[in-house]
Structures are given as structure tokens and as C-alpha cells.
């Protein structure tokens, strides 16, 4: 039971070194929560009954809907990641300017920017926005990622490139840069890169493009960045106290 709870809890302090299954033991070097999460979403939530009777749509569609629960969870995760990244940045700034500090600064900006974009910079809470941006935004909201150029040209490649950087290139080629996520968190990002790659490839195939379940997968990236920033902020705090 403790092993199962450890898998389901992404906030656990250490990756599970030994996971017992009916087919034997597994010893992954990465968090497998993303796999468990996707199994739950597509193996359980997807087939839950009575959603249309209660909320007018399936539970799965409700979770992944625009301005739905998963999008709001992403906002809070990015906001939390921003706070933790700022804490880490403030501590590392005492050691002087270097590449790692610059990357932490960029990570602060990235998390804050995406958090703001998730709620259209407060418009979804207050109803107030910039009419000049609304007029050229295909969803009629005050955000940048739904402008034609960003949404149809830059958005998918940016997800793919950044998730490959965070999920593989960073820890594999630049292990000394703790501003890039550790190997432990690689599946939070690589699963997102794989989805967007498959989604874009299916657009050019001879069959109908696969369904856009972006909110399902983007939650993993938000959670991965939150866990990465949190682990560094807490680790830095503990190391500071021990000096």
C-alpha cells in the first residue's frame, strides 16, 4: 500500500527506488506518476458514467474543457512554480551572476508568463481585458498564445522543443545546471512532447487528426515545473540552514 501511495503522490521527497507489482519489482530512475495519471484519465475518467446527467457533458470533457478544472490547476501550479523559482533565484543571486542564475531568471519569467496566460491576465476573473488584443484573438480573450501567429505557428513547436529540453537535453548534457529539471522529472515533459509531436504529425497524415487533448497533457508540464522549482527551493533552504 505504501508503494502504491508513493507512486500516486508526486510530492514525495524521493523517487521510488523499488516498486512491487504482480509481475515483479520495478526500479525506475524517474517518477512514473505521469504514466499513472494518464492511465487514470483514459482508463477510468474517460468511461465514468452519468456526466451528461450531472454537468451536461462527460466528466472527461469537463476536466479538459477550456477554462475547466485542469486549466485552473495549471494556473496554480505555474503560480506556485513562479514563487519557488523566485526563492531559489534570490538565494543563488548571492553567489554572483552566471549561466545558471540567468536560466533561473528565465524560468521565473516563463512560469509567471504562462500563469498569466492561463487566466488571460485576470480577464477570466474580472471580465476586464484589452480590446485591442481581443479583436485579433481567435477566442476573443486578452492573451497572446491565442493570437493567430502564436497559436498556429509557434505554440506546438515551443511545447515540443521546451519539453525535450526539460525532459532530456537538460539533465543529459548539462547536469551541473540545476535550473534545468533533473532526470527524475523527465516523464512530466517527454509525454507532453510526444503528444504534441503525434498531434502535429496526424494533421499531415491520411487520416483524421487526433483529438486535441492538450489540457490533459499540459497539466503534466505544469506539474513537472512546479515539482522542479519546489525541490530546488526547499533544497536550497535546507542547505542554507545547515551552513
pLDDT in tens, 197-207: 988 888 777 67
Helix (H, G, I), strand (E, B) or coil at 121: helix
Distance of CA 57 to the CA centre of its chain: 25
Largest CA distance in the chain: 61
Question: What's the confidence (pLDDT) of residue 241?
Answer: 43
Instruction: Give per-residue pLDDT as tens, 155-210.
Output: 778 889 999 999 999 999 999 999 999 999 999 999 999 999 988 888 777 677 77
Burial class (CB in 10 A: 0-12, 13-18, 19+), 216: buried
Q: Could you give the dihedral angle defined by the CA atoms of residues 116, 84, 188 and 205, in that order, rounded to the nearest 10 degrees?
A: 20
Alpha helices in the chain (DSSP H): 2-8, 33-43, 51-54, 59-64, 69-92, 99-118, 123-126, 131-134, 148-149, 155-164, 170-173, 186-203, 214-242
- pTM (2 d.p.): 0.86
In DSSP terms, 20 is beta-bridged to: 25
Alpha carbon distance 15, 35 (integer Å)? 14
Confidence of residue 5 (pLDDT cuts 50, 70, 90): low
Average pLDDT over residues 108-117: 93
pLDDT digits (tens, 9 = 90+) for 10-68: 776 665 566 777 787 777 888 999 999 999 999 999 999 999 999 999 999 999 988 88
Confidence of residue 237 (pLDDT cuts 50, 70, 90): very low
- Among the listed residues 76, 50, 55, the one whose alpha carbon sits nearest the alpha carbon of residue 65: 55
Please state the separation of Cα 216 from the chain's center in Å: 10
Amino acid at each position: 500500500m505504501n508503494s502504491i501511495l508513493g507512486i500516486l503522490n508526486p510530492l514525495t521527497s524521493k523517487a521510488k527506488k523499488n516498486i512491487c507489482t504482480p509481475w515483479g519489482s520495478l526500479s525506475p530512475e524517474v517518477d512514473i506518476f505521469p504514466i499513472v495519471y494518464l492511465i487514470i484519465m483514459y482508463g477510468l475518467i474517460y468511461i465514468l458514467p452519468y456526466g451528461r446527467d450531472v454537468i451536461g457533458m462527460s466528466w472527461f470533457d469537463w476536466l479538459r474543457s477550456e477554462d475547466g478544472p485542469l486549466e485552473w490547476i495549471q494556473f496554480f501550479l505555474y503560480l506556485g512554480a513562479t514563487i519557488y523559482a523566485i526563492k531559489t533565484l534570490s538565494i543563488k543571486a548571492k553567489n554572483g551572476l552566471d549561466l545558471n542564475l540567468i536560466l533561473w531568471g528565465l524560468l521565473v519569467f516563463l512560469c509567471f508568463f504562462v500563469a498569466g496566460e492561463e487566466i488571460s491576465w485576470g480577464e477570466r476573473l474580472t471580465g476586464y481585458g484589452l480590446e485591442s488584443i481581443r479583436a485579433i484573438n481567435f477566442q476573443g480573450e486578452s492573451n497572446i498564445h491565442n493570437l493567430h501567429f502564436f497559436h498556429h505557428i509557434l505554440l506546438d513547436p515551443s511545447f515540443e522543443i521546451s519539453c525535450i529540453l526539460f525532459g532530456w537535453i537538460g539533465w543529459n548534457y548539462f547536469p551541473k545546471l540545476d535550473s534545468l529539471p533533473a532526470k527524475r522529472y523527465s516523464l512530466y515533459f517527454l509525454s507532453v512532447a510526444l503528444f504534441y509531436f503525434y498531434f502535429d504529425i496526424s494533421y499531415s497524415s491520411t487520416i483524421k487528426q487526433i483529438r486535441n487533448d492538450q489540457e490533459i497533457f499540459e497539466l503534466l508540464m505544469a506539474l513537472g515545473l512546479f515539482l522542479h522549482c519546489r525541490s530546488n527551493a526547499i533544497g536550497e533552504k535546507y542547505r542554507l540552514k545547515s551552513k
